[in-house]
Chains A and B, each alone.
Chain A
Amino acid sequence: MSGKIVITLHAHLPYVNHPDYPYFMEENWLFEAITETYIPLLMAFNRLIADGIPFGITMSITPPLLEMLSNQNLKDKYRRYLKSLIGLAEKEVDFTSHEEHLKHKCALKYLDDFQNTLEFFDACEGDLISEFKKVENTGALELITCNATHGFLPLMRRNPQAVHAQIAMGVRAFEEKFEEHPKGMWLAECGYYPGLDKELLGQDVNFFFVDSHAFWYADIPPRYDVYRPIVTPNNVFVFARDPESSEQVWSAQYGYPGDPNYREFYRDVGFDRPFEYVKEYMDPAGNRINTGIKYYSVTGDVALGNKKLYDPDKGVETAKRHAIDFVKKKVAQVNRLTNMMGVEPIIVAPFDAELYGHWWYEGPKFLELLFREVAKTNDINSSTPSKVISSMESVQVTTPAMSTWGANGYNETWLNGSNDWIYPHLQEAESRMTEIATKYKDSTDPLYIRALNMCARELMLAESSDWAFIMTTGTTVEYAVNRTKTHLSRFLELYDAIKVHNINNKVLELYEWLDPIFPYMDYRVYSSKQ
């Protein structure tokens, strides 16, 4: 008997788009993720397909990410960014020819990689969404959606219409961009509470994911622990995370990315080179930033100054060793579980996509090698949730427990002394949104419709769980605070304008230009269903 592994990558970045600035530091989050994660993943998938390697992987690509990937302003900026990065890599090739051999070897690799990235980007005319869709069409990839702006639903449940809008727009955005209905949804931060499944059923979402303890503390304990999906009483399938797989990759102590041979994230030429030399690639405000050109390896538990040089060949060798190790461990786990269960175990391994490539440089290579290893054995195969569901004859019915995948398993990452001030405002805005959406449900005045849609956009942007998360972690807090306040105050301004029938077209136009997420927004998703 064999087992199935469901590897799921959750690709998400908050919506960061500043058309009013030629350069905005936080837009680099997207650019770095495209260069280091999204394109390398697509290239890995394409290589597997070209070599006829069967594989199954699931990706949730969140609506804000879809909106950014299809935004012309950001595409243009990305191309400029990448061209400039290639310029820096050329300069580095030159510069490192007088330095250690390994540095020069890396510099040549970076130049080559960045040029290939640009070639890939241009070949698909910057349309990465279609590239993912092409992989999906081969059957290897299952694409799923996420709730609209990655709002944290467990703290939104006091306003059911706000939850409804997050789910409905999450489905709608996916349909707009992929021209198909999403069968599954990744709930932001795996934030789930009993009853949410009803909302998912209402949007025809067939499955979602939860963290392990959602199953462990379910109202009727699942017979097979986290190793078979269950259905909720509302007939929505649920997959729970396997803690072993997560730990093998994530654990700070034993996780693969901490191997001494891998590339060190925190040594970057953006900080290592004299400022004048890298100046034109830095934040014009004068701050040093990461460039993605890094020459050092993790090395071990030493100060950053004592890191050894990175050897890309060793990096790939290590990724291969880890891929073999991971598959070996999965096979052992499957055999152990099969003996206990007597039925085929399903191992669910979800990760943040950006871990692969951006943080763990060799991650996409690891995944590719992992699928190549899996293809060699009959003991496990990689699959996707929809395929798993259609292979099942019966399923246990139970209600998972409220849970998240945040620190300690509940809400404290998104609700603590650093960020609790946002909830009185968010919840006030949510109830006001429902109030005006209900009042103007049948409006035909184009100006009102635009203003109401803009209110809904501002509210949803403010709801992104990313801002509360950033406030907790303490880096770029100012940006997160600003974004929360800005969207909320734009919301309040528009709400007041609608209430007193004094909508300023110029202001509205400005906001529509600044925050153009979801052009297909329909504020009626917020109106109360009476």
Chain B
Amino acid sequence: MDGGKTIRQLKKEAMHLKIKGYYNMRKKELVEAISKRKTELAKMAHDIGNMKMSQLRSFAKEIGLRITRRTTKSELIEKISNMFSTWEHDEKSTKQRESKKPSAATSSLTKIPERKVVKTEVDLPKTYKKDKLVGLEVNTNWLHFYWDLSEKTRRILSVRSPIVLRVYDVTYIDFNGTNAHRTFEMELNPNISKYYVFVPQPNADYLAEIGYKDGNKFVPLLRSNLVTTPPSSPRLAQMELWMDLRTRQKFSEISSGKFVTRVEKLAGVSSMPTINLISGGGSFFWLSGRRSI
């Protein structure tokens, strides 16, 4: 929803809003980026009443408002609120103009979808109608599972509830269905076909099963491949193995410890985040598994 602005005007606006990389954006991308940025700022603006002068100043700078040293606090608040009402006005007039052609485009001050929907002419099959449960490593603590079902399994599951996903820690185990170190379970929304799960242990072997609960009994229908989380810390070793490159002979040596002392990066924050953060070390949110496909 560009309000009929030219690409030049949009760029200027994007520049004022300090949108990164606006120079390389196409019109559609610009409109989206501006809209997204305005939403972020609008959220922040709800708080202007409680802001300190220094916060107000930097916020004004963020949204490209010109201020002088003499601008007072109340003037600043007024200027900022005026700025947002202009945006809202722009938004409304654009809506009126475009009311005849409903579109999925985003309104800058309302909720916007996370990712744009990309349309292509080619469609791939939604299912290959085979029983399949596949595990993939994301990183040291996250695994991804996706699955596909045969008609028969789909029918069985359609009359069963709850459907569950089980993940087993089977490190160094020849798994027989009951001998896992640890067993994790969650109920699945029957409409999804992929999920990301957090697992506690790096450098461990996991596998998953999908099935249903019959009372207290778990009835597995699909089993995944083995998934191994990568290690995340140095290991200890008493012995080193070496090879003489002239003779190609391998020989052992007692490890004499580290020759190179390495200082690792320390990560931290000044205060622990309190809201909306997933616990357990994931470095980003995975939402796809929670939506129906």
Contacts and interface: CB of A to CB of B under 8 A. Distances in A.
Interface of A: 154-155, 158, 216-221, 223-225, 227, 231, 235, 266-268, 271, 287-288, 290, 303-305, 337, 340-342, 392-398, 401-403, 408-412, 415-418, 420, 423-425, 427-428, 475, 477-478, 481-482, 485-486, 488-489, 492
B243 A481 contact: no
B230 A412 contact: no
B169 interface: no
Most buried by B among A223, A398, A425: A223
B23 A217 contact: no
Contact of A217 (B15, B225, B230, B286): B230
Given A341-B259, A423-B136, A481-B120, A216 B246 contact: no
Contacts of A393: 244-246
B242 interface: yes
A395 B137 contact: no
Nearest to A478: B118
A337 to B, nearest CB: 7
A215 B284 CA distance: 25
B230 A401 contact: yes
A398 B244 contact: no
A505 B123 CA distance: 23
A154 B123 CA distance: 26
B144 A420 contact: yes
A227 B260 contact: yes
A220 B237 contact: yes
Contacts of B234: 216-217, 221
A288 B289 CA distance: 37
Most buried by B among A288, A392, A412: A412
Contacts of B142: 412
Interface residues of B, number: 65
Contact of A417 (B232, B242, B250, B287): B287
B228 interface: yes
A418 B144 CA distance: 13
Contact of A337 (B15, B22, B260, B287): B260
Most buried by B among A158, A337, A425: A158
B146 interface: yes
A223 B256 contact: yes
Nearest to B248: A235
B139 interface: yes
A397 B241 contact: yes
Given A221-B237, A337-B260, A392-B245, A412 B23 contact: no
Given A220-B240, A398-B241, A411-B139, A225 B260 contact: yes
Interface string B259-274: 1111000000000000
Interface in B97-154: 115-116, 118, 120, 122-125, 128, 130, 134, 136-140, 142, 144, 146, 148
B178 interface: no
B258 interface: yes
A423 B241 CA distance: 38
B24 A395 contact: no
Contact of B245 (A288, A395, A409, A427): A395
A395 B287 CA distance: 46
B231 A217 contact: yes
Contacts of A420: 144, 146, 194, 288
21 contacts: A155-B137, A217-B232, A220-B239, A221-B234, A221-B235, A221-B236, A223-B259, A266-B24, A304-B23, A397-B243, A402-B231, A408-B139, A410-B140, A410-B230, A411-B139, A415-B136, A417-B285, A417-B289, A420-B288, A424-B134, A481-B118
A428 B243 contact: no
Contact of B243 (A268, A288, A395, A402): A395
Contacts of A423: 134, 136, 146
Nearest to B237: A220
Contact of A220 (B11, B235, B246): B235
B134 to A, nearest CB: 6
B283 interface: yes
B233 interface: yes
A220 B239 CA distance: 8
Contacts of A424: 128, 134, 146, 148, 193-194
Given A415-B136, A420-B144, A394 B244 contact: yes
- What are the nearest 4 A-B pairs in CB distance? A417-B288, A410-B139, A225-B260, A397-B241
A267 B240 contact: no
A342 B286 CA distance: 47
Nearest to B135: A158
A49 B144 CA distance: 50
Nearest to B147: A424
A415 B237 contact: no
A395 B251 CA distance: 10
B166 interface: no
Given A271-B23, A411-B139, A418-B115, A220 B15 contact: no
B144 to A, nearest CB: 6
A268 B23 contact: yes
A485 B120 contact: yes
Contacts of B26: 287
A402 B230 contact: yes
B255 interface: yes
B79 interface: no
A417 B288 CA distance: 5
Contacts of B240: 220, 223, 396, 398
